[in-house]
Structure 1
Amino acid sequence: MIPFNKPYLTGKEPHYIEQSVMSGKISGNGDFTKKCQHYFEDTYNIKKALLTTSCTDALEMCAMLIDCKGYEVIVPSYTFVSTALAFVRQGAKIVFADSKSDQPNIDPEQIEALITKNTKAIVVVHYAGVAVDMDKIMALAKTYNLFVIEDAAQAIDSYYKEKPLGSIGHLSAFSFHETKNIISGEGGLLGINDKQFIDRAEILWEKGTNRSSFFRGEINKYGWVDTGSSFLPSEVIAAFLWAQIENIKPIQAKRIKIWDNYYNQLNILEQKNKITLPKIPDFATNNAHMFYIICKTENQRSELIKFLKEKEVYAVFHYLSLHKSEYYKSLDYYKATDLPNSDKFTSQLLRLPFYFELEEQQQQLIIDLILEFFNE
């Protein structure tokens, strides 16, 4: 079977992991952690980067840093549960926003109507690594004195008007889950672009202690000074990630080639109005995180998934609208909300197999099967 995803190893991972183990500094914040963090700071213009054990942890740090308890936070409904959960755990009330009609990203035009005197932040998700219109988002934030958090889980090495995603909002979060462009199995990174958050972020990162300041020689002892958790990953995870970061250029080049091939060959179906292909706005770049098609109906998508599976090709749908989730409906502030675009992508979007080692003949088989399905 052609799987939906296959983790890619560069070959350097075991070597660097061995280095990290033999260094005697395995618990984290060693040489490999610092290399990864400096890469994001230097390459993507992030003021301060902190490696975390997951993107979820990075988002939880964002929620802690903005002190959102009792406030409202605007979040897209079409996203992974972590985008909302991180703020729920800190006592925020989630206000869900709809997607654009032609793209899964949050619709900036609908956000202002959701802002109240209790709104604390806007969380944007750069779906499939394609940028939200950040000028509109930042203008709203400035007008209403709000924080902006970029959920850049899928958005490494992608840009908005030449600005790296994750460097524009006050805070950002990246993922290195095994389905992402570069991976460490699990893993994430907090990006801090507002200097007011840097010192406290280090404390939250180190279990509520000022340990980082101690190791820099800024204080003569460290203790418990704030809330926090064990957000810092082991050096083994950082070593694995560094092997991937070193190879990001060839990884990205191959992924873009795969993406372009899907788009160019399936474009005939869009021209015949049988499917819709991804839209890349003029202000955004494409980091080839995934390739998806939008079917005409949920039933058509189900039939296509079944057809491909019978031919040993594994294609999958994606998010379920969070505003219709069982947990959200259980909250005391729940109210029924109509978000038709989010629901459309929930029922009609289909992700195709996409990974670095997808061979040309395998991809051609997938494309030919999709063309066959729609021609029949």
Structure 2
Amino acid sequence: MDISFYSRFHAPLESAYLEEVLASGLETDGLFMKRLLDCADSLYPGCRFLFTPSCTLALETALACLRLLPGDEVLLPSFNFPSAANAVLRHGGRPVLCDITPDTQNISVRDASNRLTSRTRAVIAMHYAGVSAPLGGLKRLAEEAGIALIEDAAQCVDAYYEDQPLGTVGDMGCVSFHHTKNAVCGEGGLMITKNHGHWQYARQYRLHGTNRAGYLDGEAARYTWNLPGSCAALSEPQAALLLAQLQCLSQITRSRLHVTEQYWKQLAPLEERGIAMRMRIPAYARPNGHIFYLRFQDPALLNSLIPALAAHGIDCKTHYVPLHASPMGEKLGYHKEDLPESLACYQTLLRLPVHTALTDEDIARTTETILRFV
């Protein structure tokens, strides 16, 4: 494709950092991890962090901290990637899928509250497109029900709810550095918490269920196996690459926001004519330009537009099959008609290319091609 959907940012210091780390002993939690933790301190002040090989492992680590019992339930949106639901299943819980609101494609607080039971232990808020879910309402729901609030902030590095970084509002938050995200290290994740107990449990879970981190910090004479765990530590080469990326984060965000702002302006005729709705940004949200999407009124028009754009060398994509409408969702007892907003989103949403390599000419060519077609 002439205009690709994905293109990662290349940070100037990547090669130098990788050469430096390759000359080292490649020890886990080495020099570059220490520098990465210092960088995270500036992005997420007042929090504790654990970098992991993927956001999936960050979510699994967060769910481990809840110590679910068989039959415990966790609420999460159906319009979502499977990682959060898999994390619940992996720890013996039952994912309870909720519908979304059509303005932001984020979890509906009303629908989530209707699905609360005596077995509910947590609600997972996924912030779609780097746009905050309604965290005010979700925090009230969680506090009144006495359950945990976990943020699936996979798409949200440098995005905010009011003035708070996404991932820091709930009890725990998880961020992704997968190669499709804004800042990347191929794979990679981060678990964030302000809860000291969760952090202490998670840092043992991350290292095979042992107190090795405490041992290395001089807190114990030996380290031993204390709880069920996993191998969930980020490698030094990934840490080096991610550090170079995060040092350019403000530049990455500015560039991506420029793209999304141009799409918003240039595609206004679609909304004026009732053809498609442009993505919405609530007043409480400050996004990071991760995604720009349109919601078309007519699914048939969307389905014919995608190959037409491809014929012009422009790669645009739909997004998730809702979890409730998937084969696994059916095994959990759901039917396609159960969550209508999630299903409608799947049928009508189109994502446009957003990355730092796009030029203003690329943006104009994409928008003009869409407007001419419709």
The two structures have a TM-score, normalised by structure 1, of 0.96
Question: 2:102 touches 2:345 (CA, 8 Å); kept in 1?
Answer: no
Structure 1 residue 83: deviation in Å? Answer: 1.7
SS at match of 1:42: helix
Question: 1:75 touches 1:95 (CA, 8 Å); kept in 2?
Answer: yes
Per the alignment, residue 40 of structure 1 pairs with: 40
Question: 2:39 touches 2:243 (CA, 8 Å); kept in 1?
Answer: no
In structure 1, how many angstroms separate the alpha carbons of the residues matched to 2:97 and 2:16? 45
Question: 2:183 touches 2:242 (CA, 8 Å); kept in 1?
Answer: yes
Which structure 2 residues correspond to residues 164-175 of structure 1 after superposition, within 5 A? 164-175=165-176
Residues 60-106 of structure 1 deviation map (CA, whole Å, 9 limit, x = unaligned): 10111111232000010000011211111111111111000322100
Question: 2:293 touches 2:351 (CA, 8 Å); kept in 1?
Answer: yes
Segment of structure 1 superposing worse, 363-372 or 337-346: 337-346
Structure 1 residue 169: deviation in Å? Answer: 0.6
Opposite residue 42 of structure 1, the aligned amino acid is: S
Per the alignment, residue 179 of structure 1 pairs with: 180
Residues 19-47 of structure 1 deviation map (CA, whole Å, 9 limit, x = unaligned): 112232x1421122122233223322352
Per the alignment, residue 160 of structure 2 pairs with: 159
**Number of matched residues?**
371
Question: 1:154 touches 1:289 (CA, 8 Å); kept in 2?
Answer: yes
Question: 1:46 touches 1:167 (CA, 8 Å); kept in 2?
Answer: no
Per the alignment, residue 257 of structure 1 pairs with: 258
Per the alignment, residue 106 of structure 1 pairs with: 107
Question: 2:204 touches 2:213 (CA, 8 Å); kept in 1?
Answer: yes
Structure 1 residue 274: deviation in Å? Answer: 1.0
Are residues 69 and 301 of structure 1, via their aligned partners in 2, closer, same or farther at CA, if it must alter by over 3 Å? farther
In structure 2, how many angstroms separate the alpha carbons of the residues matched to 1:188 and 1:283? 25
Are residues 335 and 367 of structure 1, via their aligned partners in 2, closer, same or farther at CA, if it must alter by over 3 Å? closer
Structure 1 residue 355: deviation in Å? Answer: 0.9
Per the alignment, residue 218 of structure 1 pairs with: 219
Per the alignment, residue 129 of structure 2 pairs with: 128
Per the alignment, residue 150 of structure 1 pairs with: 151
Per the alignment, residue 300 of structure 1 pairs with: 301
In structure 1, how many angstroms separate the alpha carbons of the residues matched to 2:6 and 2:46? 29
Opposite residue 314 of structure 2, the aligned amino acid is: V
Segment of structure 1 superposing worse, 146-155 or 194-203: 194-203
Structure 1 residue 115: deviation in Å? Answer: 0.5
Q: Does 1:228 align with 2:229?
A: yes
Structure 1 residue 137: deviation in Å? Answer: 0.7
In structure 2, how many angstroms separate the alpha carbons of the residues matched to 1:112 and 1:330? 24
Opposite residue 356 of structure 1, the aligned amino acid is: T
Structure 1 residue 335: deviation in Å? Answer: 4.1
Per the alignment, residue 31 of structure 2 pairs with: 31
The two structures have a TM-score, normalised by structure 2, of 0.97
Question: 1:160 touches 1:284 (CA, 8 Å); kept in 2?
Answer: yes
Per the alignment, residue 22 of structure 1 pairs with: 23
Residues 288-318 of structure 1 deviation map (CA, whole Å, 9 limit, x = unaligned): 1111111112221111101001111110100
Q: Does 1:362 align with 2:362?
A: yes
Segment of structure 1 superposing worse, 358-367 or 146-155: 358-367
In structure 2, how many angstroms separate the alpha carbons of the residues matched to 1:304 and 1:89? 39
Q: Which runs of 5+ in 2 are unaligned?
A: none
Per the alignment, residue 288 of structure 1 pairs with: 289
Opposite residue 356 of structure 2, the aligned amino acid is: F
Residues 232-266 of structure 1 deviation map (CA, whole Å, 9 limit, x = unaligned): 02100000000000101111111111111111100
Which structure 2 residues correspond to residues 78-117 of structure 1 after superposition, within 5 A? 78-117=79-118
In structure 1, how many angstroms separate the alpha carbons of the residues matched to 2:249 and 2:180? 15
Per the alignment, residue 324 of structure 1 pairs with: 325
Q: Which runs of 5+ in 1 are unaligned?
A: none
CA RMSD of the aligned region, Å? Answer: 1.2
In structure 2, how many angstroms separate the alpha carbons of the residues matched to 1:227 and 1:84? 20
Question: 2:104 touches 2:131 (CA, 8 Å); kept in 1?
Answer: no
Superposed structure 1 runs of 4+ greater than 4 Å apart: none
Per the alignment, residue 266 of structure 1 pairs with: 267
In structure 2, how many angstroms separate the alpha carbons of the residues matched to 1:261 and 1:291? 10
In structure 2, how many angstroms separate the alpha carbons of the residues matched to 1:266 and 1:61? 41
Question: 1:72 touches 1:120 (CA, 8 Å); kept in 2?
Answer: yes
